[in-house]
Amino acid sequence: MVIDFFANLRLNVFIYYVVSVTIFLGVLYYFTNIVKLDVYVVFSLLFLLTLLSGFFLTKLATAPLFEYILELQHLSKETLHELKLPLSTILTNLGMIKRKTTDEKTLQRLKRIEDACGMIESRYNELDYMIKKQSTNEIKEEFFLDELLQERITFFKHIYPEFSFELQTQKTAVIYDKIGFSKVIDNLLDNGIKYSNKEKKITLILEQNQLSIIDYGVGIEEVELLKIFDRYYQSNQNIEGFGIGLSMVKRFCDKNKIQLRVQSKLGVGTTILLQFKRKEK
Protein backbone atom coordinates (compact mmCIF):
# COMPACT_ATOMS: atom_id res chain seq x y z
CA MET A 1 0.00 0.00 0.00
CA VAL A 2 2.78 2.44 0.95
CA ILE A 3 4.80 1.52 -2.15
CA ASP A 4 1.75 2.00 -4.39
CA PHE A 5 1.02 5.36 -2.76
CA PHE A 6 4.49 6.76 -3.41
CA ALA A 7 4.65 5.20 -6.88
CA ASN A 8 1.40 6.96 -7.86
CA LEU A 9 2.58 10.22 -6.32
CA ARG A 10 5.88 10.01 -8.21
CA LEU A 11 4.04 9.27 -11.46
CA ASN A 12 1.63 12.20 -11.01
CA VAL A 13 4.46 14.62 -10.30
CA PHE A 14 6.41 13.35 -13.31
CA ILE A 15 3.40 13.72 -15.63
CA TYR A 16 2.67 17.22 -14.33
CA TYR A 17 6.31 18.22 -14.80
CA VAL A 18 6.43 16.94 -18.41
CA VAL A 19 3.13 18.66 -19.29
CA SER A 20 4.26 21.94 -17.68
CA VAL A 21 7.59 22.00 -19.50
CA THR A 22 5.85 21.18 -22.80
CA ILE A 23 3.38 24.06 -22.29
CA PHE A 24 6.19 26.45 -21.40
CA LEU A 25 8.12 25.55 -24.55
CA GLY A 26 4.97 25.96 -26.61
CA VAL A 27 4.24 29.38 -25.06
CA LEU A 28 7.85 30.45 -25.61
CA TYR A 29 7.76 29.40 -29.28
CA TYR A 30 4.34 30.97 -29.93
CA PHE A 31 5.08 34.40 -28.46
CA THR A 32 8.63 34.72 -29.81
CA ASN A 33 8.21 33.28 -33.34
CA ILE A 34 4.53 33.86 -34.21
CA VAL A 35 3.27 36.82 -32.17
CA LYS A 36 6.83 38.18 -31.94
CA LEU A 37 6.39 39.87 -28.58
CA ASP A 38 9.24 41.62 -26.84
CA VAL A 39 11.56 39.08 -25.20
CA TYR A 40 11.16 40.73 -21.78
CA VAL A 41 7.37 40.42 -21.99
CA VAL A 42 7.69 36.75 -22.95
CA PHE A 43 10.01 36.01 -20.04
CA SER A 44 7.70 37.88 -17.66
CA LEU A 45 4.82 35.66 -18.79
CA LEU A 46 6.98 32.56 -18.38
CA PHE A 47 7.98 33.70 -14.91
CA LEU A 48 4.32 34.07 -13.88
CA LEU A 49 3.54 30.67 -15.37
CA THR A 50 6.49 29.18 -13.49
CA LEU A 51 5.22 30.57 -10.18
CA LEU A 52 1.72 29.24 -10.90
CA SER A 53 3.11 25.87 -11.91
CA GLY A 54 5.29 25.71 -8.81
CA PHE A 55 2.27 26.37 -6.61
CA PHE A 56 0.23 23.56 -8.19
CA LEU A 57 3.22 21.18 -8.22
CA THR A 58 3.77 21.75 -4.50
CA LYS A 59 0.09 21.18 -3.79
CA LEU A 60 0.05 18.07 -5.96
CA ALA A 61 3.08 16.61 -4.18
CA THR A 62 2.23 17.51 -0.57
CA ALA A 63 -1.58 17.27 -0.32
CA PRO A 64 -1.77 13.43 -0.66
CA LEU A 65 1.22 13.02 1.64
CA PHE A 66 -0.38 15.29 4.24
CA GLU A 67 -3.62 13.29 4.10
CA TYR A 68 -1.67 10.03 4.39
CA ILE A 69 0.19 11.27 7.48
CA LEU A 70 -3.07 12.44 9.09
CA GLU A 71 -4.61 9.03 8.43
CA LEU A 72 -1.62 7.32 10.06
CA GLN A 73 -1.90 9.62 13.08
CA HIS A 74 -5.61 8.84 13.48
CA LEU A 75 -4.91 5.13 13.15
CA SER A 76 -2.11 5.32 15.74
CA LYS A 77 -4.30 7.20 18.22
CA GLU A 78 -7.20 4.77 17.79
CA THR A 79 -4.93 1.71 18.13
CA LEU A 80 -3.26 3.18 21.19
CA HIS A 81 -6.65 3.91 22.76
CA GLU A 82 -7.80 0.34 22.13
CA LEU A 83 -4.63 -1.07 23.73
CA LYS A 84 -5.19 0.79 26.99
CA LEU A 85 -8.36 -1.10 27.96
CA PRO A 86 -7.04 -4.70 27.66
CA LEU A 87 -3.80 -3.71 29.40
CA SER A 88 -5.71 -2.16 32.31
CA THR A 89 -7.95 -5.27 32.45
CA ILE A 90 -4.93 -7.58 32.65
CA LEU A 91 -3.30 -5.54 35.43
CA THR A 92 -6.54 -5.26 37.42
CA ASN A 93 -7.29 -8.98 37.27
CA LEU A 94 -3.66 -9.81 37.95
CA GLY A 95 -3.83 -7.81 41.17
CA MET A 96 -7.00 -9.66 42.21
CA ILE A 97 -5.41 -13.06 41.55
CA LYS A 98 -2.26 -12.11 43.49
CA ARG A 99 -4.30 -11.16 46.54
CA LYS A 100 -5.93 -14.60 46.59
CA THR A 101 -2.76 -16.60 45.87
CA THR A 102 -0.36 -17.91 48.50
CA ASP A 103 1.68 -20.38 46.45
CA GLU A 104 5.21 -18.98 46.05
CA LYS A 105 5.84 -20.36 42.54
CA THR A 106 2.52 -19.03 41.28
CA LEU A 107 3.29 -15.62 42.78
CA GLN A 108 6.66 -15.59 40.99
CA ARG A 109 4.96 -16.36 37.68
CA LEU A 110 2.40 -13.64 38.30
CA LYS A 111 5.24 -11.24 39.10
CA ARG A 112 6.87 -11.98 35.76
CA ILE A 113 3.55 -11.32 34.00
CA GLU A 114 3.23 -8.05 35.93
CA ASP A 115 6.76 -7.01 34.93
CA ALA A 116 5.99 -7.82 31.28
CA CYS A 117 2.82 -5.70 31.52
CA GLY A 118 4.94 -2.92 32.99
CA MET A 119 7.22 -3.06 29.95
CA ILE A 120 4.21 -2.93 27.61
CA GLU A 121 2.80 0.00 29.58
CA SER A 122 6.14 1.79 29.30
CA ARG A 123 6.13 1.31 25.51
CA TYR A 124 2.50 2.51 25.48
CA ASN A 125 3.49 5.72 27.29
CA GLU A 126 6.36 6.25 24.84
CA LEU A 127 4.07 5.85 21.83
CA ASP A 128 1.51 8.15 23.41
CA TYR A 129 4.26 10.68 24.02
CA MET A 130 5.57 10.42 20.46
CA ILE A 131 2.10 10.95 18.98
CA LYS A 132 1.43 13.97 21.19
CA LYS A 133 4.84 15.37 20.35
CA GLN A 134 3.96 15.38 16.64
CA SER A 135 1.06 17.77 17.24
CA THR A 136 2.45 19.95 20.05
CA ASN A 137 5.56 21.96 20.78
CA GLU A 138 8.41 20.37 22.67
CA ILE A 139 7.39 19.49 26.23
CA LYS A 140 9.92 20.67 28.83
CA GLU A 141 9.51 20.49 32.57
CA GLU A 142 11.61 20.84 35.69
CA PHE A 143 12.40 17.59 37.49
CA PHE A 144 15.08 16.05 39.69
CA LEU A 145 17.42 13.90 37.64
CA ASP A 146 18.53 11.87 40.69
CA GLU A 147 14.90 10.83 41.29
CA LEU A 148 14.44 9.88 37.65
CA LEU A 149 17.58 7.71 37.79
CA GLN A 150 16.22 5.91 40.85
CA GLU A 151 12.91 5.28 39.07
CA ARG A 152 14.61 3.79 36.02
CA ILE A 153 16.90 1.59 38.11
CA THR A 154 13.90 0.26 40.02
CA PHE A 155 12.26 -0.55 36.69
CA PHE A 156 15.37 -2.38 35.39
CA LYS A 157 15.83 -4.34 38.60
CA HIS A 158 12.51 -6.07 37.96
CA ILE A 159 13.57 -7.05 34.45
CA TYR A 160 17.21 -7.96 35.26
CA PRO A 161 17.21 -9.20 38.88
CA GLU A 162 20.66 -10.76 38.37
CA PHE A 163 22.21 -7.30 37.85
CA SER A 164 23.31 -4.95 40.61
CA PHE A 165 22.99 -1.19 40.16
CA GLU A 166 25.20 1.16 42.14
CA LEU A 167 23.82 4.70 42.29
CA GLN A 168 25.81 7.70 43.55
CA THR A 169 23.87 10.95 43.18
CA GLN A 170 23.42 14.46 44.46
CA LYS A 171 20.21 16.47 44.23
CA THR A 172 20.14 17.82 40.67
CA ALA A 173 17.27 19.83 39.18
CA VAL A 174 17.13 20.10 35.37
CA ILE A 175 14.68 21.31 32.74
CA TYR A 176 14.32 18.92 29.83
CA ASP A 177 11.79 16.72 28.11
CA LYS A 178 11.40 14.21 30.97
CA ILE A 179 10.07 11.30 28.93
CA GLY A 180 12.73 11.87 26.29
CA PHE A 181 15.43 11.90 28.98
CA SER A 182 13.96 8.69 30.45
CA LYS A 183 14.35 7.03 27.05
CA VAL A 184 17.97 8.17 26.93
CA ILE A 185 18.69 6.60 30.34
CA ASP A 186 16.81 3.41 29.42
CA ASN A 187 18.79 3.00 26.20
CA LEU A 188 22.13 3.58 27.93
CA LEU A 189 21.28 1.16 30.76
CA ASP A 190 19.98 -1.45 28.33
CA ASN A 191 23.14 -1.13 26.23
CA GLY A 192 25.36 -1.50 29.28
CA ILE A 193 23.46 -4.61 30.35
CA LYS A 194 23.57 -6.21 26.89
CA TYR A 195 27.33 -5.73 26.56
CA SER A 196 28.18 -6.72 30.13
CA ASN A 197 30.44 -9.68 30.70
CA LYS A 198 30.77 -11.84 33.80
CA GLU A 199 30.49 -8.89 36.20
CA LYS A 200 26.80 -8.05 36.08
CA LYS A 201 26.98 -4.56 37.47
CA ILE A 202 26.14 -1.03 36.32
CA THR A 203 27.35 2.09 38.13
CA LEU A 204 25.66 5.49 37.81
CA ILE A 205 27.36 8.62 39.17
CA LEU A 206 25.60 11.98 39.12
CA GLU A 207 27.71 14.88 40.34
CA GLN A 208 28.70 18.39 39.26
CA ASN A 209 26.20 18.44 36.38
CA GLN A 210 27.60 15.25 34.89
CA LEU A 211 26.04 11.80 34.64
CA SER A 212 28.34 8.81 34.20
CA ILE A 213 26.91 5.40 33.31
CA ILE A 214 29.58 2.72 33.71
CA ASP A 215 29.48 -0.92 32.69
CA TYR A 216 32.15 -3.54 33.22
CA GLY A 217 31.63 -5.44 29.99
CA VAL A 218 33.36 -6.26 26.73
CA GLY A 219 34.31 -2.68 25.87
CA ILE A 220 34.51 -1.04 22.44
CA GLU A 221 37.45 -0.85 20.06
CA GLU A 222 38.75 2.65 19.41
CA VAL A 223 37.92 2.50 15.69
CA GLU A 224 34.30 1.57 16.52
CA LEU A 225 33.80 4.52 18.88
CA LEU A 226 33.35 6.73 15.80
CA LYS A 227 30.48 4.55 14.52
CA ILE A 228 28.43 3.64 17.59
CA PHE A 229 26.08 6.61 17.21
CA ASP A 230 25.30 5.80 13.56
CA ARG A 231 21.74 4.65 13.01
CA TYR A 232 21.42 0.81 12.77
CA TYR A 233 25.10 0.26 13.64
CA GLN A 234 25.84 -2.64 16.01
CA SER A 235 29.34 -3.59 17.10
CA ASN A 236 28.17 -7.14 17.90
CA GLN A 237 25.63 -8.60 15.46
CA ASN A 238 25.00 -11.56 17.80
CA ILE A 239 23.38 -9.32 20.42
CA GLU A 240 19.67 -8.69 20.05
CA GLY A 241 18.69 -5.16 18.97
CA PHE A 242 18.34 -2.83 16.02
CA GLY A 243 21.17 -0.37 16.60
CA ILE A 244 18.72 2.52 16.95
CA GLY A 245 19.09 3.35 20.65
CA LEU A 246 22.41 5.20 20.63
CA SER A 247 21.50 7.24 17.56
CA MET A 248 18.37 8.40 19.42
CA VAL A 249 20.52 9.24 22.45
CA LYS A 250 22.85 11.32 20.25
CA ARG A 251 19.95 13.21 18.65
CA PHE A 252 18.43 14.04 22.04
CA CYS A 253 21.78 15.24 23.43
CA ASP A 254 22.56 17.35 20.36
CA LYS A 255 19.12 18.93 20.40
CA ASN A 256 19.33 19.77 24.11
CA LYS A 257 22.99 20.84 24.06
CA ILE A 258 24.10 17.99 26.32
CA GLN A 259 27.74 17.06 25.80
CA LEU A 260 28.00 13.33 25.10
CA ARG A 261 31.29 11.46 25.47
CA VAL A 262 32.30 7.80 25.47
CA GLN A 263 35.32 6.22 27.16
CA SER A 264 35.94 2.53 26.59
CA LYS A 265 38.61 -0.15 26.86
CA LEU A 266 38.39 -3.68 25.50
CA GLY A 267 37.78 -6.25 28.19
CA VAL A 268 37.37 -3.56 30.87
CA GLY A 269 34.13 -1.77 30.08
CA THR A 270 32.55 1.44 28.81
CA THR A 271 31.67 4.76 30.41
CA ILE A 272 29.07 7.10 28.90
CA LEU A 273 29.30 10.69 30.13
CA LEU A 274 26.53 13.27 29.82
CA GLN A 275 27.54 16.83 30.70
CA PHE A 276 24.64 19.26 31.08
CA LYS A 277 23.57 22.50 32.71
CA ARG A 278 21.24 22.75 35.65
CA LYS A 279 17.79 24.14 34.94
CA GLU A 280 18.56 24.55 31.25
CA LYS A 281 15.96 26.76 29.53
User: What integer pLDDT is reported at residue 51 of this predicted model?
Assistant: 82
The residue type at 105 = K
> What strands lie across the sheet with 164-168, from one edge to the other?
164-168, 201-207, 210-215, 269-275, 259-265
- Write out pLDDT tens, residues 234-259: 554 444 443 456 888 888 899 899 99
pTM across the whole model: 0.56
User: What integer pLDDT is reported at residue 5 of this predicted model?
Assistant: 63
User: What integer pLDDT is reported at residue 6 of this predicted model?
Assistant: 66
Top CATH class of 141-275 equals: alpha beta
- Write out pLDDT tens, residues 218-232: 888 877 777 777 654
User: What integer pLDDT is reported at residue 199 of this predicted model?
Assistant: 80
As to burial, measured by CB atoms within 10 angstroms (0-12 exposed, 13-18 middle, 19+ buried), residue 178 is middle
- The segments of the chain whose pLDDT lies below 70 read 1-6, 81, 122, 126, 129-138, 230-245, 278-281
User: What integer pLDDT is reported at residue 98 of this predicted model?
Assistant: 86
